[in-house]
Chains A and B, each alone.
Chain A
Amino acid sequence: MAKRYDIVIVGAGPAGLAAAEAALAQGARVAWLDAQSAAGGQVWRKDIRYGWPRQAARVITEVVNHPHATWMPQTQVIAAEQNALLLQNEREGWRITYGSLILATGARELLLPFPGWTLPGITGAGGLQALVKQGWPLDGRRVVIAGSGPLLLAAAVTAKRHGAHVLGIYEQASDAAVHGFARKLWRWPGKALQAAVLRSQLAGIPYHCGSIVTRALGEHALERIEIDGPHGTQRIECDQLAIGYGLVPNVELAQMLGCAMKQEGAHPCVDVDTSQRTSVTNIYAAGELCGIGGRDCAWLEGRIAGLVAAGADIDASLLRQQRHARTFAAALREHFKLDPYIHDLAQPDTLICRCEDVPLQALKDYDDARSAKLATRCGMGACQGRICGTALAELGLFPRSGQRPPLFPARLASLGELASSSETEGSFS
């Protein structure tokens, strides 16, 4: 028989962490897992030089060491069955079952195609941050940060802290939009403080609004970029471009489990009630996969989900705080809305599907993702459309086509041996 836990939490970012802390405090036996080797998720990713942010370090250590917690790092959910998850780590595959399941799978960056975007030296903004925190050297390299949203500031701080020469931050939203947003920040004092701290750490790095990277150039790797801004086009020589257009909820596992979705812009997110319940009994969702809401929102929702899943009551003030945090997300979306010009940057020969080398022009004769996939292989590769399918949805070409197992590339041995050899005895809960 597969091992059973009262509560299984997928994802160890703020939402998963808060859920684990809350459920453990109620006496539940909790298993939580994450594909990364350390807990913290995207915002609290462990930095090999500087460790975890102080506020996160305490909770993470507490939860990881809790006697009722089973922490499974570097573990992916590769498929789901009735009340069971198929897991895989570096060595083996196995199955676990649960009383309740809390999904806290977060979000990924929205990467959009433009000429040259596949050159070596170009990453997402969050992508660069992750690489650097894992020890990728940036010392003395000329870095441009571009795209949209507050993530750009955080990426710039990390890059600077690791010795990069950050040439500038190029935000696509207009000056008016960004200032309008800043004027509203007082309503979320925590955010205002965070912004002020980031701003001070960024002293000396110019921040340009209304600026869009239209092209990246270089022979074998990135050498320079072209930027359209309020003062016309400029060229910038650089070694590294970190460009991200915001975040997209990671809903694939929730979809596979049959949870109802709702649409947020061009992308689906999980539909939950005020207790973070999904449409499927005993499955909860918290944080970015319920719609991009940011760190505070994720924490609050994780806490709600953890309490409810463990059978505890939630007090009204927690719900109030969560609603307030969600309004921040709405303001963020409104002010950092993407300029439609960005949707038109890709040229006929710009690659859309990087796994299978499919350029935009190959897709023009099709009006749904499935026909395009069958004819061009777009979305058939290792990422199964996570990047290109999401980009095509954002560009308004067609919505992403359906997900199938495995959720991530999975060893055949993990998929094939679950029923027999890898099963573990156990009767917990």
Chain B
Amino acid sequence: MKSYDLIIVGAGIIGTACADYASQQGLRVAIVEPGPIGGGATAAAMGHLVAMDDDPAELALANYSLGLWEDFTQVAQIEYNRCGTLWVASSDAEYAHIPEKIARLAAVGVQAELIDGEQLYRLEPALQRGLAGGMHVAREAVVYPPGMARHLLDRARARGALLYSQRVTAITQQGVQLDDQTSLAGSVLVATGCALPELLPQLPMRARKGHLVITDRYPGLIHHQLLELGYADSAHGDADSSVAFNVQPRPTGQILIGSSREYGSETSQVSMPMIQRMLERTFRYLPALRQLDALRIWTGFRPVSADGLPYLGRVPEHTNVWVAAGHEGLGITTSLGSARLVIDQWLGRAAAIDARPYDPARAVACV
């Protein structure tokens, strides 16, 4: 039986980030993925690297990760574009809350500034008139997530990591079993996103569907990742379905339009009523988009843990099984920090940020 220090299951952005860091630390790594590299949630994502201030633990992980992303700004296939984030206030009430947000972000070292109505239209002339202003986070960026997953995997493979293009069918005493009946021995790190319960049913995971629309090329129409300040209510609320204004300029000049969140829909089928809701929301902020041509609509599933924070660490009652999954709508942003947190713990080192909020034990305990 082939033996490794660490067998990583799943080559989404989380699994590949783990493979990259583990191989860099000298571990002998195998990574198992039956599909395209980064072909799961990672291929569906918008790729916005963003710090959200609503939850302290999430903010800590995002901030840690955003620092690590700085090493990847020059790799062509990642398409790193520091366009900045512009949060838009639709009401005076939303505008009034911006200083608190800025303070929370500043506390961890993220620079954000208050933008009044006039500055807002200077930054984004296409926005609908009548908006109160916003918050500008200049150093945030957008990337191409599947390109990052491939890059991380290529680096790991260059250090000797091995890719198995199979599916893991079971976790065994020694390691894993693959669907071609071969077995691999070693510690196991499960990074299978929404598919986590197939291998680790004790860890609750829900899939939250999202729709995205991409347009033809219209360079220069918008310049920043644009979100409504109410986005967090949609992202963190637990409604069966919600939409929020969330629009991104791609380096190609295309415009990527989000975002919807929906529980209970299991097929990847596009729902036209959901698209209508999402676009209506978009037109309220960016009426100029009405006349643009859409090329493709697709869907993806965000892996949501019991409490919305990822599971990062050892799986209770297993000595040799670890998990990194459940990043919901922020897994691209938080991938690099997540990988360090898990691998450092595996190595018996202290993690750079407090690891306790992500301990899988919290979820096992509550089922």
Chain A residues with a Cβ under 8 A of chain B = 79, 81, 86, 368, 370-371, 374-375, 380-382, 384, 404-406, 409-413, 415-420
Interface centre among A374, A404, A409, A410 (most CB of B within 10 A): A374
B181 at the A/B interface (Cβ < 8 Å)? no
Chain A residues with CB under 8 A of B278: 416
Residue of A380, A382, A416 ringed by the most chain B CB atoms within 10 A: A416
CA distance A370 to B36 in the complex (A): 7
Within the complex, what minimum Cβ distance (angstroms) separates B170 from chain A? 26
**Known A405-B272, A412-B283; further 5 A-B contacts with Cβ < 8 A:** A375-B146, A406-B295, A412-B215, A412-B292, A417-B280
In the complex, per-residue mask of B266-284: 1 if CB is within 8 Å of any chain A CB, else 0? 0000101101101110110
- Interface members, chain B 8-38 (any A CB < 8 Å): 36-38
Give B288-307 as 1s and 0s: 1 = Cβ < 8 Å from A's Cβ atoms: 01111111111000000000
Report chain B residues within 8 Å CB of A368. 36
Which residues on the A side are within 8 Å of B282 (C-beta)? 412, 416
The answer to whether A413 and B147 touch (CB under 8 A), given A370-B39, A371-B36, A404-B298, is no
Nearest B residue to A371, CB-CB:
B36
Of all chain A residues, the one with the shortest Cβ separation from B37 is A371
> Footprint of A on B, CB under 8 Å?
36-39, 43, 77, 146-147, 150, 213, 215-216, 257, 270, 272-273, 275-276, 278-280, 282-283, 289-298
Smallest CB gap from A413: residue in B? B290
User: Are B295 and A412 within 8 A (Cβ)?
Assistant: no
Q: How far is the CA of A206 from the CA of B197 in the complex (A)?
A: 68
Q: Is the CB of A418 within 8 A of B272?
A: yes
> Are A413 and B291 in contact (CB-based, < 8 A)?
yes
Q: Report the 10 A-B pairs with minimum CB-CB distance, sorted nearest first.
A: A416-B279, A413-B290, A371-B36, A409-B293, A374-B146, A419-B276, A405-B297, A81-B272, A410-B294, A370-B36
Check if A409 sits within 8 Å of B39, measured CB to CB.
no
**Contact partners of A382 in chain B: CB under 8 A:** 216, 293, 295
Find out whether the CB atom of A412 lies under 8 angstroms from the CB atom of B294. Answer: yes
Cβ distance A395 to chain B, nearest Cβ, rounded Å: 20
Question: Smallest CB-CB separation from B278: which chain A residue?
Answer: A416
Q: Contacts A79-B272, A406-B297 given: A415-B291 contact, CB under 8 Å?
A: no
A and B contact pairs by CB, cutoff 8 A, 27 listed: A374-B37, A375-B146, A380-B295, A381-B295, A404-B270, A404-B296, A404-B297, A406-B294, A406-B295, A409-B216, A409-B295, A410-B293, A410-B294, A411-B291, A411-B293, A411-B294, A412-B279, A412-B290, A412-B292, A413-B290, A413-B291, A415-B213, A415-B272, A415-B276, A416-B290, A418-B276, A419-B273
